[in-house]
Amino acid sequence: MKLLNTLTLTAVLFSLSACSYFGTKADNKAYYSPQKILKAVSDKYPTEKADLIYIGAPVGFIAPRENNNEVSSGADAGKVVDIITALTVKTSKIVITGTDNTLTAITLERALTAKNSKISGGNVIYVGATKAESDNLSKLAQAAGVNIEFMDLPS
């Protein structure tokens, strides 16, 4: 009987934690809505073209940190190359945002520190940066010759 009670209690606790976990993730996805972000940029700059680079992050306890380390070390450069390419073309403002502020900031930092003189003169709008991230990225953008603007996430 004790085993049955323990298994029942475990199943109930697991179900509650799963509901809590998935409910939180759904709220975060609504908060980082790419459609709302593009609309906010379009409202601010109605005559200019804007392209969105949305940096998704892995879910879990260890995976986000591992992904941040990979981007920092240069092993995972997919979105970094996307940002460099968009800044090289210079046909629009580049809107950069993502679900994990740390990963998004590291990715943009890698793109700005790449030794690529062709990105000079590009325009970036970073949506959702913290104060510390914006200070650091402002310095890097200025050194790379990139104009950077910071916007809050739309509500």
The predicted model scores a pTM of 0.73
**Mean pLDDT of all residues belonging to the chain:** 79
- DSSP-assigned states of every residue in 75-128: S--HHHHHHHHHHHH-SSEEEEEES-HHHHHHHHHHHHHSS-GGGTT-EEEEES
Which residues of the chain are under the pLDDT cut of 70? 1-32, 76-77
Dihedral sign from CA coordinates of 66, 62, 124, 49: positive
Q: CA torsion, points 60, 111, 52, 136, in degrees to nearest 10?
A: 80
